[in-house]
Structure 1
Amino acid sequence: MTSTFVFAAGANGVSAAPAELVRHGYRGVGVPQPEQQFRLSYQAPQDLAAFAAEPSALAGVTVADQVAATVAVVRRAAQLGPVVLVGSSIGGALITLVAEEVPELVAALVYDAAFCCVGLATPDEYLATPEGTASQAIALAGFLAADPTVIGAMRFNWRSGSAAALAAAKEALCADATDGEFFGLLNAMAPDDLLGRGSTDSRGTASRWGRVPRHYVRHLRDHVVPLALQDRMIAEADDGTPENRFEVHDVDTSHFPDAAGMAQFVEVLDKIGRSVSE
């Protein structure tokens, strides 16, 4: 049976099936965060004072709510055949919690340069380790546009024209990409993100999450989730469930792949999809 790839929401709601994957004959669906967060103040010309003050549509939305939304999509997809659940970056923490809830509905987990919390509880704790301190994720702070306690979410102005913020973000996220690819990425990101994503306990148990076949796609030139940190999380997960170890795949790209890196990623997903569908 044909597999369905379900893409959990990463940072700022990024979740979509690569078009080339669908052309390979698979079904693909993303699970975005609420879209009501787009507002007039975010358009051009921007009203930055209003943008900094308007409450977020994500205010009060929790990681548990995002897990529930993803589980609902997985349940529907599982009616059609095997489900491959994909999480990129912080979306890895989310797919662990989904697999913990419905391990029987997930044929395979794919951690795409993603957080897989086993030895430590949260992504934030992993970023504070020796392997995580090289992360350039702090570069995104240049886009912060509001006080989270005022609007109820983390808010970023991805339409900022700050040369310093843009240069730092490009180096962190996709140093190998063209400017066009970089700006396309920014325009695909929603301005708001859930509070507490990085500090939520995202560990699964060996008896539930740990029994689902899993794959890790290492990004060899990642500046957000450094390769050493990816390797640490792989090793901890393998130690926790030695009878069900990660199958590891390498993609020679940065955190967000450029066109060449995306082609490599789709090849990996195709391989996983064919193995699951057999």
Structure 2
Amino acid sequence: MSSITYVLVHGAFSTAAAWGPTARELTLRGHRALAVDLPGHGLDARETGMAGISTADDVAAVTAVVRALDGPVVLVGHSRGGLTVTAVANAVPELLAHVVYVSAWCCVTGGPSTYASVAPSALDALAPRLLTADPAEVGELRVDFTAPDARDELQDALLADGTRTELLAMLATMDGRESLVVDEAAVTVDPECWGRVPHTYVRLTADRALMPALQDRFVADAEALGLPFRVVDLPTSHLGVQLRPGPLVDVLDDVRVAPS
């Protein structure tokens, strides 16, 4: 069987750089790993920002990467990256051997608006203070993660189990812009397609940016459709899982795929 390749998809305002420790650990264990920058992020940043970038652009970018790889692909999404993972699995299930959600959005019974009020997080409360422009006017979300008066709250929401130095290092890898519009239909589970791909949910029990209650709702809704997740709990925070990736890589190491 050809080697598994783990394709790592970042979350909102993030970049491929956030997956650096995870990709390094996977590689040291003999795996192939590729972290992607979604359109408009990281090294794919554009002069026009995120305005006009759509879910379809994200799906096209990730699908192009998956098509270019030889052998089984395990697609891994963190946080908002779960929306892209779902949309890709809906569109091209035949290209994927497994999908893994790491405290990630997995909308089952409707789009993100269906789940927005399930379990408001510490980050939700802080978000309005981080905005630097009216999204309706600029066509994208713009935030400032460097505001000194927000650091205590960002620490609590994103990396309560880490140091301030670690938080600032992680924030330095993040973008201040994010796409505004999500295609709710595209990122909602299509049982006939998504259901063909084995799926794992890595539940972060100390996450205060995407609350365990919301993670549980995604898992329960999939179970109700007869499409249960393999669920693994890790006692870490939203960014701690990427900063100290050993336990996550243990989970990824244990992903089983059918022979190609």
In the superposition, the TM-score normalised over structure 1's length comes to: 0.83
Contact 1:127/1:135, CA 8 A, preserved across alignment:
no
TM-superposed CA distance for 1:276, in Å, is 2.4
Say if 2:177 is the partner of 1:192. Answer: yes
Counterpart for residue 60 of structure 2 = 68
Task: Report the 3-state secondary structure (helix = DSSP H, G, I; strand = E; otherwise coil) of the residue aligned with 2:7.
Answer: strand
Task: Report the 3-state secondary structure (helix = DSSP H, G, I; strand = E; otherwise coil) of the residue aligned with 1:207.
Answer: helix
> Counterparts in 2 of 1:38-187, with a 5 A limit?
56-77=48-69, 80-122=70-112, 124-129=113-118, 132-160=119-147, 162-163=148-149, 165-187=150-172
- Runs (5+) with no aligned partner, structure 1: 39-54
Task: Report the 3-state secondary structure (helix = DSSP H, G, I; strand = E; otherwise coil) of the residue aligned with 1:12.
Answer: coil
Moved more, 212-221 or 261-270: 261-270
TM-superposed CA distance for 1:228, in Å, is 1.5
The structure that has the greater radius of gyration is 1
Moved more, 213-222 or 262-271: 262-271
Task: Report the 3-state secondary structure (helix = DSSP H, G, I; strand = E; otherwise coil) of the residue aligned with 1:254.
Answer: coil
Deviations 1:189-235, CA, capped at 9 Å, x for gaps: 111111124x7332121110111000000001111211121111101
CA distance in 2, matches of 1:171, 1:226: 12
TM-superposed CA distance for 1:181, in Å, is 1.3
Contact 1:181/1:258, CA 8 A, preserved across alignment:
no
Counterpart for residue 247 of structure 1 = 230
> Counterparts in 2 of 1:221-260, with a 5 A limit?
221-240=206-225, 242=226, 244-257=227-240
Deviations 1:49-83, CA, capped at 9 Å, x for gaps: xxxxxx74221111111111111111112xx1100
TM-superposed CA distance for 1:138, in Å, is 2.9
Give the partner amino acid of 1:31: V
Distance 1:213 1:225, change over 3 A: same
Deviations 1:66-125, CA, capped at 9 Å, x for gaps: 111111111112xx1100001111111111110011000000000100111112322x43
Counterpart for residue 41 of structure 1 = none
TM-superposed CA distance for 1:261, in Å, is 4.8
CA distance in 2, matches of 1:140, 1:185: 17
Counterpart for residue 46 of structure 1 = none
Percent identity over paired residues? 35
Q: Which 4+ stretches in 1 moved above 6 angstroms?
A: none
TM-superposed CA distance for 1:258, in Å, is 5.6
Distance 1:261 1:13, change over 3 A: closer
CA distance in 1, matches of 2:241, 2:169: 11
Give the partner amino acid of 2:93: P
Give the partner amino acid of 1:60: G
Aligned residues: 250
In the superposition, the TM-score normalised over structure 2's length comes to: 0.88
CA distance in 2, matches of 1:176, 1:99: 32
CA distance in 1, matches of 2:76, 2:242: 19
Counterpart for residue 21 of structure 1 = 26
Distance 1:21 1:222, change over 3 A: same
Say if 2:250 is the partner of 1:267. Answer: yes
Moved more, 146-155 or 134-143: 134-143
CA distance in 2, matches of 1:156, 1:223: 19
CA distance in 2, matches of 1:74, 1:184: 29
Task: Report the 3-state secondary structure (helix = DSSP H, G, I; strand = E; otherwise coil) of the residue aligned with 1:22.
Answer: helix
Q: CA RMSD in A?
A: 2.1
Counterpart for residue 52 of structure 1 = none
